[in-house]
Structure formats: C-alpha cells, structure tokens
Amino acid sequence: NASPEHIFFLPDTGQNFYADPFPVWKDEKTHVFCEELTYATGRGVIAHFTIDATGKASEPKIVLQRPYHLSYPFVFDHEGVTYMIPETSQNRTIELYRCDQFPDQWSFVCVLIGEIDAADATLVRHDGRFWIFASLSGEGRSSWDALGLFYSDRLEGPWQAHPANPVLIDAAQ
C-alpha cells in the first residue's frame, strides 16, 4: 500500500545521501541495494537495507567499497548465484562481483569490459546471449547522451562492442 501512512524515509544525517535503489526479493524479504555517497569523501559505496512488511527500512549498511566511486548496483541471479555489476566508471571499467554470503559478502570476479567510460551498466539475457546496455561518455558526450551495447556468449566474457556503438545518441545533442 503506497498511502502516506505507509511511507517511511531513511534517516537524513546530513552527512550522506542515497541513490540508485535496486530492490531484490529474496528469503521472503525486500532487500534494497543502493549507492551511499558520503559528502566528506565524495565517493560512493554500495549499501544494503531491508524493508519490512510495514514498509519500514532497516539501517543501511555498507556491503561493497573500492578505492574508487561505486554506484548503480545492478544485482541479478545467474545459475543459482547472485551477482552485482556496480557502476565503476571512475575506474574506467565494468566489473562483476559474486555474492558469497547474501547480502553483505561480495567478491570481485573480473573486469567484464576495460578502458571504458560507461555508466549504469544493465545486463539482459536474450536468446542465450548476454547483453550489456550502458551510457557511454567521451568524445564530447556526457554520461547520459549515448547508449552503448555489448554482447557475450558467457557472463565472464569475452565481451564485444556492438559495431554501431554508440547505438543511440540523444537527438537533442
């Protein structure tokens, strides 16, 4: 129920903000992964909280951090394993992480695509092939102007860029 009495807000300490929520239903609970950016560091990490049956959120806890900015935690299951592709554009990579113990223990698996300035990588499986859609920066484009497409027959790669990349450019640009 989305009535106002069922809406709860995460506490605002004035020290950070939360963005890019990614809900996952698992173990009879709503889990939410999101970016937590602390103003003091200016660097995002991936946080996790749950939402109970009344709509109240637990306190967010950091579950993944790197020496570079993380955001947009794309979480998915493949062959019984939970994975995450967080945005790692500050590192110029698209990276894959495996969940070793849900929801708070993650291990780096591999760089799916390197030497790329890509934001908000989203994975889709279609007709037995993996596809990544991502916003591409560079060559005078911002991270919201151009859509890139990449494909692979295996999750871990090798990944190939679509020959027409960027496959879509904002017509207003």
Kindly write down the DSSP assignment for every residue of 5-38, as one continuous string: GG-------SSEEEEEEEEEEETTEEEEEEEEEE
Q: Specify the pTM.
A: 0.90
DSSP reduced 3-state for 91: helix
**Residue 4: CB atoms within 10 Å:** 5
Give the model's pLDDT for residue 10.
78
Structure confidence at residue 172 (pLDDT): 59
Profile the chain (173 residues) by mean pLDDT over runs of 10 residues.
Answer: 65 90 94 96 97 90 98 98 97 98 98 96 97 83 75 98 79 55
pLDDT of res. 1: 47
Instruction: List the one residue out of 91, 82, 41, 79 whose CA is nearest residue 63.
Output: 82
What pLDDT does 171 receive?
A: 57
How wide is the angle at C-alpha 153 spanned by C-alphas 77 and 132, nearest 5°? Answer: 60
CA–CA separation, 101 vs 119, rounded Å? 26
Predicted local distance difference test score (pLDDT) of residue 51: 93
Helix, strand, coil tally for the chain in percent (to 5): 5, 60, 35
Q: Distance between CA atoms of 169 and 144, rounded to whole angstroms?
A: 9
What secondary structure does DSSP assign to 142-160, as a single string?
EEEEEEEEEEESSTT---E
